[in-house]
Structure 1
Amino acid sequence: MHPGVAWPRLILDDDRVVGFLMAFFDIDFAGDGTGTDIRSGLWRLNISAEEQGRGYGRFAVQAVADEIRRRGGTRLTACWHPGSDGPEAFYLGLGFRLTGEMSGDQCVGELELTSDT
């Protein structure tokens, strides 16, 4: 679907897989071909249920933020399903803000990247 922009990564603790992320870089978020809304961020972040709350998700988001910064970007976009049983509190706790947009049935959030995020 987006060859050359996907960044799949396993999240490991020593040799044990604890999660997976799929990031993207420089895609036309609007999908209209105009190139007026180019974004980078997270398509997917999955941490094993028994490993949640141990810092792996925070580590993964930081790794994506670092890579976006390395490529010259200044914001990280993520989408998630709304609701109390979803990851919204996690993302908001990391400093993401809701944009008011929806991507399908998912909320869109952004994290402005500074030297300390």
Structure 2
Amino acid sequence: MSTTALRLEQITEANLDAALGIQVRPDQAHLVAPVVKSLAEAYVHPEIAWPRLIVDGGRPVGFLMGFFDADFAAGGSSVDGDHRAAGLPRPDLRSGLWRLNISASEQGRGYGSFAVRSVSDEIRRRGGDRLTVTWHPGEDGPEEFYLKLGFRRTGEFSGDQVVGECALSA
């Protein structure tokens, strides 16, 4: 991984096929939705979704989708403009990493950690102080990866997935 050439790109017509070509290892396919589903969800929830292609040099190596100010208390995905306009935090609004797909041939090279740092940076830029993520529990899931990055289990579940959270320092 070349940190100087590593960047996120907004999904556009020019890189859509590259984003759709990102596939995790076959044994991980049950753990994360394919990029095409993420992009469909981003289309349906444009107010909270932040899909990005992870590129190293000119080579696409992964896909992430962040989310910002999702209303978990209502069980939906809405943005509360009144609180934001007043500068007041809402504890039930969360931001975090919605999806992370690293190409099968590119795993283990630090791209996942880069993705988590990138979403953390964007949350801080937007005034947030915590990063939320969910993962499938079990031996084949990514729990160890997230715990090593400083996440802790909250005790909550989102469907059948564990909810993890990481406090972000300023």
Determine if the TM-score, normalized by the shorter chain, exceeds 0.5.
yes
Match of 2:14 in 1: none
Flag the structure with higher helix content: 2
Give, as a single letter, the amino acid of the residue that structure 1 aligns with 2:169. T
Is this contact kept in 2: 1:6–1:23, CA < 8 A? yes
Runs of 4 or more above 2 Å deviation: 30-36
If each structure's strand is expressed as a fraction of its own residues, which one has the higher value? 1
Structure 1: give runs of 5+ residues left out of the alignment: none
Cα root mean square deviation, aligned: 1.6
Q: Please identify the structure whose Cα radius of gyration is greater.
A: 2
Q: CA deviation at 1:3?
A: 2.3
Q: Which residue of 2 aligns with 1:82?
A: 137
Aligned to 1:47: 102
Distance, in Å, in 1 between the alignment partners of 2:56 and 2:108 is 14
- What is the TM-score normalised by the length of structure 1? 0.91
Q: Which runs of no fewer than 5 residues in structure 2 stay unpaired?
A: 1-43, 81-89
Paired with 1:56 and 1:69, the residues of 2 have a C-alpha distance of 20
Structure 1 residue 56 corresponds to structure 2 residue 56:
no
User: Across the two proteins, how many residue pairs are aligned to each other?
Assistant: 115
Q: Distance in 2 between matches of 1:67 and 1:61?
A: 10
TM-score (norm 2): 0.64
Distance apart, 1:2 and its partner CA? 2.3
Answer with 88-97 or 29-38: which moved more.
29-38
